[in-house]
């Protein structure tokens, strides 16, 4: 192991400080070779993903002077003859190695794939690599530095080996970071579809999707939407919070708030998150189900009974229905008695509710 200077250690500390920055983790394959080449000078640097047991080059950062498709083709055709692949398969050794550790210059120049079809077209004569295995698969990330002459030193090797455990931990962190980012994006997408509003324990809006804001402006009259919900919706939320505070997780699911407007219906559902001291409102908009007298015939009502119940559902009184249907009020009362018997109810309101339930047009969660 080479002795590093105070300047070397200072540069390594600066590198490690930036290694875990969110931007670096998000663009790990691009960020890593660029930053490492500031510590160990290289003419070309790159990071590739390889499955050594299957001799498969999966992907890698772009390299000047060679199209990506050509890199894939040459690497997959000749990966098995590369000294790095042979050494890793035999030993599992992840430390930094140079090509010159395994082959002399004349031997390298006689290699058809590694040199004649890969290094020589790029004008490179030497590689220095560091292997980062994946705990969950056979694939490895390989950091590769190229030079146009065999000039990598033991100081360069020592720095890479010093970085190895940090790079492996940063790669794990990057994977977790990416997973969290994907999950957050999925959550935001879901909230955008449904319309989501996150409310603090104090009742302030912490996050609201654009669709939720549009629906609030459409369904609730208010002058300006700030940190608080519109008054009517806020009163409903406070009512839901009072039930949750009283019963906690034992509380049964509450009925959603439903508001109708111009043939559409906005549904608001209240979700409590006691661990985060937050509340979530999920908003959905639906077209109101269109209702016709013929629908009620599906329940076994006669044509005339269905017409009577249809107008009852429209809020008409018996006299109004009798006028519309050109019959007497006594006839309407008799039809209603038959409707009550068939639906097993006793009142006009319960007849409407029961009919809509049976037709699947009423949400009775």
Are 94 and 214 members of one domain? no
Q: Taking 50 as the threshold, does the pLDDT of residue 349 lie above it?
A: yes
Last residue of a domain, one of 235, 259, 287: 287
CATH code for the domain in which residue 139 is found: 3.30.450.80
Last residue of a domain, one of 183, 205, 227: 183
CATH code for the domain in which residue 276 is found: 3.30.450.20
pLDDT of residue 100: 95
Question: Is there a domain that residue 364 lies in?
Answer: no
Average pLDDT, the chain: 83
pLDDT of residue 244: 73
Q: pLDDT tens-digit profile of 112-134?
A: 889 999 899 889 999 999 998 87
- 71 against 140, higher pLDDT: 140
Are 79 and 204 members of one domain? no
Average pLDDT over residues 250-267: 72
Are 154 and 231 members of one domain? no
Question: Is there a domain that residue 21 lies in?
Answer: yes
For residue 245, the Cα-to-chain-centroid distance in whole angstroms is 31
Q: Find which of 116-130, 205-219, 289-303 is predicted with most confidence, using mean pLDDT.
A: 116-130
Report how far residue 270's alpha carbon sits from residue 243's, in angstroms, rounded to the nearest whole number.
11
What do you get for the CA distance between the two ends of the chain, in Å?
70
Q: How many CB atoms lie within 10 A of CB 113?
A: 16
Average pLDDT over residues 91-114: 93
CATH code for the domain in which residue 332 is found: 1.10.10.10
Report how far residue 222's alpha carbon sits from residue 226's, in angstroms, rounded to the nearest whole number.
10
Confidence of residue 250 (pLDDT cuts 50, 70, 90): very low
Q: Taking 60 as the threshold, does the pLDDT of residue 215 lie above it?
A: yes
Question: Is there a domain that residue 29 lies in?
Answer: yes
Name the domain count of the chain: 3
Helix axes 210-219, 154-194, angle to 10 degrees: 20
Are 110 and 159 members of one domain? yes
Q: How many CB atoms lie within 10 A of CB 287?
A: 8
Are 132 and 23 members of one domain? yes
Residue in 235, 228, 224 with CA at minimum distance from that of residue 268: 235
Average pLDDT over residues 81-102: 92
Are 145 and 281 members of one domain? no
Report how far residue 245's alpha carbon sits from residue 241's, in angstroms, rounded to the nearest whole number.
6
CA dihedral 139, 30, 47, 45 (to 10 degrees): 180
Q: How many CB atoms lie within 10 A of CB 329?
A: 14
Report how far residue 82's alpha carbon sits from residue 57's, in angstroms, rounded to the nearest whole number.
12
Report how far residue 355's alpha carbon sits from residue 360's, in angstroms, rounded to the nearest whole number.
9
Report how far residue 234's alpha carbon sits from residue 242's, in angstroms, rounded to the nearest whole number.
12
Average pLDDT over residues 158-187: 81
pLDDT of residue 94: 92
Question: Is there a domain that residue 148 lies in?
Answer: yes
Q: pLDDT tens-digit profile of 299-334?
A: 899 999 999 998 988 878 899 999 999 999 999 999
Confidence of residue 242 (pLDDT cuts 50, 70, 90): confident
Last residue of a domain, one of 247, 268, 287: 287
Phi–psi pair at 7, nearest 5 degrees: -65, -40
Report how far residue 21's alpha carbon sits from residue 18's, in angstroms, rounded to the nearest whole number.
5
Question: Is there a domain that residue 167 lies in?
Answer: yes
Are 283 and 258 members of one domain? yes
DSSP 40: S
Are 86 and 39 members of one domain? yes
Residue in 330, 219, 263 with CA at minimum distance from that of residue 322: 330
Q: pLDDT tens-digit profile of 55-69?
A: 788 777 667 667 778
pLDDT of residue 274: 58
* E-strand stretches of the chain: 44-51, 56-60, 97-98, 126-133, 139-147, 196-200, 205-208, 257-261, 264-273, 278-287
Average pLDDT over residues 145-154: 94
Contact (CB, 8 A) for 40 and 159: yes
Average pLDDT over residues 159-183: 82
Provide the residue range defining the domain that includes 208. 195-287
Question: Is there a domain that residue 188 lies in?
Answer: no
What the block records as the tokens of 244 is 């949750």
Question: Is there a domain that residue 190 lies in?
Answer: no
Are 212 and 120 members of one domain? no
- 296 against 183, higher pLDDT: 296
Residue in 128, 184, 190, 176 with CA at minimum distance from that of residue 156: 128
pLDDT of residue 304: 93
Confidence of residue 93 (pLDDT cuts 50, 70, 90): very high
% the chain with pLDDT above 70: 86
Are 208 and 338 members of one domain? no
Question: Is there a domain that residue 239 lies in?
Answer: yes
Q: Where are the alpha helices (DSSP H) in 195-230?
A: 210-219
Q: Taking 60 as the threshold, does the pLDDT of residue 365 lie above it?
A: no
Strand (E) or helix (H) holding 352 = helix 348-359
Residue in 251, 267, 46, 11 with CA at minimum distance from that of residue 147: 46
Are 17 and 95 members of one domain? yes
Are 225 and 176 members of one domain? no
% the chain with pLDDT above 90: 27
């Amino acid at each position: 192991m080479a002795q590093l200077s105070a300047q070397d250690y200072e540069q390594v500390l600066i590198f490690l400080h930036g290694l875990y920055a969110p931007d670096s983790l998000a663009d790990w394959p691009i960020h890593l070779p660029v930053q490492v080449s500031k510590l160990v000078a290289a003419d070309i640097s790159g990071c590739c993903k390889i499955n050594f047991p299957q001799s498969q080059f999966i992907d890698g950062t772009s390299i000047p002077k060679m199209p990506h498709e050509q890199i894939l083709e040459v690497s997959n055709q000749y990966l098995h003859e590369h000294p790095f692949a042979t050494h890793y398969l035999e030993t599992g050794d992840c430390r930094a190695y140079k090509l010159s550790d395994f082959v002399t210059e004349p031997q390298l120049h006689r290699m058809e794939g590694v040199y004649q079809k890969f290094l020589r077209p790029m004008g490179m004569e030497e590689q220095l690599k560091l292997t980062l295995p994946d705990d969950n698969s056979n694939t490895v990330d390989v950091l590769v530095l190229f030079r146009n002459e065999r000039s990598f030193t033991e100081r360069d090797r020592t720095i890479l080996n010093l970085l190895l455990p940090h790079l492996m931990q940063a790669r794990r962190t990057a994977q977790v970071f990416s997973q969290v980012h994907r999950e957050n994006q999925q959550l935001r997408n879901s909230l955008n579809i449904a319309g989501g509003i996150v409310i603090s324990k104090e009742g302030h809006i912490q996050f609201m999707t654009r669709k939720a804001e549009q629906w609030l402006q459409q369904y609730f009259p208010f002058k300006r939407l700030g940190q608080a919900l519109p008054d009517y919706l806020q009163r409903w939320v406070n009512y839901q919070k009072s039930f949750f505070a009283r019963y906690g997780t034992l509380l049964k699911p509450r009925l959603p708030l439903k508001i109708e407007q111009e043939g559409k219906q906005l549904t608001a559902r209240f979700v409590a998150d006691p661990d985060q001291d937050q509340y979530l409102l999920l908003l959905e908009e639906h077209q109101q189900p269109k209702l016709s007298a013929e629908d009620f015939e599906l329940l076994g009502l006669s044509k005339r009974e269905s017409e009577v119940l249809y107008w009852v559902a429209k809020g008409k009184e018996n006299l109004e229905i009798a006028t519309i249907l050109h019959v007497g009020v006594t006839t309407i009362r008799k039809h209603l008695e038959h409707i009550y018997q068939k639906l097993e109810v006793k009142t006009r309101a319960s007849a409407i509710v029961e009919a809509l339930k049976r037709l699947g047009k009423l949400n009775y969660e």
